Amino acid sequence: MKNIISRIVISGSLMAGLLACDGFLDEKPDNSVVVVSTIKDVRSLLDNSSVFNRQGNLVSRASDEFETSEKILANLFVAERRSYLWLDDPYQGEMVSDWVFPYEQVFYANVALDALNKIGNIASEEHQQLRGEALFHRSYAYFNLLQQFAPAYRLDGNNGGLKGIILKNNADINEPAVRSSLDQSYKQVKNDLLEAVDLLPVSSLYKTRPDKAAALGLLSRLNLVTANYGEAGEAASEALMIYKNRMDFNEIDVEARFPFPQFNDEMVFYSLLRSSVFNISNEVFISEDIQNQLKEGDLRRMAFFNEADSGRLIYTGKFSGNTAFFGGISVGELELTAAEAFARTGNSEKSQLFLNALLARRFTPDHFEEIKETGQKLLTIIINQRKLELIGRGIRWFDLRRLNQEPEHATVFTRGENQVEILPNSPKYVFPIPDLEVQRTGIEQNER
């Protein structure tokens, strides 16, 4: 393993170790493996997009957005195939990138934070920006871990009595691994994000670097998941006031193979889900429910999808600009979060403004009709629009977990040749922690 003095290099043996097992938390090297001693070192570390701008992909397989054949399932990684089918013990000893990726991000964010504390000159603009970026990346990782490896945040309370995730808030690998409560876990993420919002600049040079709008976007996502609708609406609105770029689908070539540039105008923060056969197969179709909701004049039908000979739609126009599933933060998500938040707090007029602003850019002018509904009808329209606009990003999984607690929005669906029925609030909405991690750390396993 190499010491890094003036630049950051992750050694091949370290990466091989990370990819070979799931016991990630205690497989870390000590701090001497990564020596970060200057502001330039911290910048290099946080600009490693192969670490910080990627996510796992199990949630896009396990949600109700896509349907595929047994033939395609046979070509997927074991964890992806078994998660699609909601089987017990989905990993079968295979590496779980959905666990490894975020804890790798947590580790290197902590390395950056520890270094910044030692470097000093904390009042400098660059120092504060780097601290904000590290806090954002750690929060992003923790948020994704909470959506997969901890129970859904309970809208009726009692989150203090539920198991959350392991919070590793420094780079010391000798610190025991303990699961915090769900309430403590969410408070940690929120507090870090609030600090990041204050520290980050209004804009960044690259979409791989978080800025103030990205932090507010993640904060709005967190508040929506925890049913803190007032703050969700405020955070999304503020992000949209800061980030002013928009993309009208009437002005792009929606029939192109890749209709969207890699870093398009509505992309606030760039992050990609891990790629697999599932991403590019012409035998993976969007659900009939989503297909049936695409109305005439909705340009997303051509921009996002191609039609197979069977008439089923294939998701080809990824927001990433390539074949990878986009998992970051976008203007469309922020508008729909604001719309839902204001609808739930009784401000239908403001909700309609955000919703109609989005739809006016997604429909041809002769087919766009202003939404004027209020109350529960408006909320249902917004929830359905989330399914259309945010397809393939992993967000539907978050939505299923929270909406299943509301009988009027709960979802029941079936999967696989045996038509296994997936019920609302099933314990299978929580992924098991990799067995090797449980064995090595002694942390409590999730019910399955």
Q: Which pLDDT belongs to residue 190? A: 98
Residue 396, pLDDT > 90, answer yes
Q: Given CA atoms 303, 305, 307, 311 in this order, what sign does their dihedral have?
A: negative
The answer to the question of residue 177 being in a domain is: yes
The answer to the question of residue 116 being in a domain is: yes
CA pair distance 296, 289, nearest whole angstrom: 15
The answer to the question of residue 258 being in a domain is: no
CA pair distance 247, 361, nearest whole angstrom: 7
CA pair distance 59, 428, nearest whole angstrom: 12
Q: How confident is the model at residue 25 (pLDDT cuts 50, 70, 90)?
A: low
DSSP 74-102: TTS-HHHHHHHTT-SS-STT---HHHHHH
The answer to the question of residue 152 being in a domain is: yes
Rg (CA), the chain: 21
Q: Which two tokens stand for residue 352?
A: 């309609």
What's the angle, vertex CA 316, arms to CA 310 and CA 319, rounded to 5? 150
The answer to the question of residue 394 being in a domain is: no
In this structure, the strands spanning 272-273 and 329-330 are unpaired
Cα pseudo-dihedral 293, 291, 387, 419, rounded to 10: 120
CA pair distance 112, 133, nearest whole angstrom: 9
Q: Which pLDDT belongs to residue 7? A: 31
Of 30, 288, 338, which Cα lies nearest the Cα of 170?
Answer: 30
Q: Which pLDDT belongs to residue 8? A: 34
- 151: DSSP letter: P
Give how far the C-alpha of residue 409 lies from the chain's centroid of Cα atoms, to the nearest Å: 21
Of 278, 312, 315, 286, which Cα lies nearest the Cα of 72?
Answer: 278
What's the angle, vertex CA 180, arms to CA 19 and CA 137, rounded to 5? 50
CATH of the domain at 148: 1.25.40.890
Backbone angles phi, psi at 47, to 5 degrees: -90, 5
Q: Which pLDDT belongs to residue 29? A: 43
Residue 261, pLDDT > 80, answer yes
Q: Is 157 left (phi over 0), alpha (psi -120 to 50) or beta?
A: left
- What does the pLDDT average to over 291-295? 96
The answer to the question of residue 324 being in a domain is: no
Q: How confident is the model at residue 6 (pLDDT cuts 50, 70, 90)?
A: very low
Residue 398, pLDDT > 90, answer yes
Question: How many CA within 13 A on the CB side of residue 178?
Answer: 7
How many folded domains does the chain comprise?
1
Q: Which pLDDT belongs to residue 71? A: 86
The answer to the question of residue 270 being in a domain is: no
| Contacts by 409-416, CB closer than 8 A, 24 or more apart | 409/380, 409/383, 411/64, 413/64, 413/287, 415/84, 415/85, 415/86, 416/84, 416/85
Specify whether the CB–CB gap between 336 and 390 falls below 8 A: yes
Q: Which helix (H) or strand (E) holds 68?
A: strand 66-68
Query: What totals of helices (H) and strands (E) does the chain contain, helices first?
Result: 19, 12
The model's pLDDT over 127-178, given as tens digits with 9 standing for 90+, comes to 999 999 999 999 999 999 999 999 999 998 889 999 999 999 988 878 889 9
CA pair distance 379, 373, nearest whole angstrom: 9
Q: Which pLDDT belongs to residue 69? A: 87
The domain in which residue 15 lies consists of 1-56+97-200+427-448
Q: Which pLDDT belongs to residue 12? A: 31
The answer to the question of residue 251 being in a domain is: no
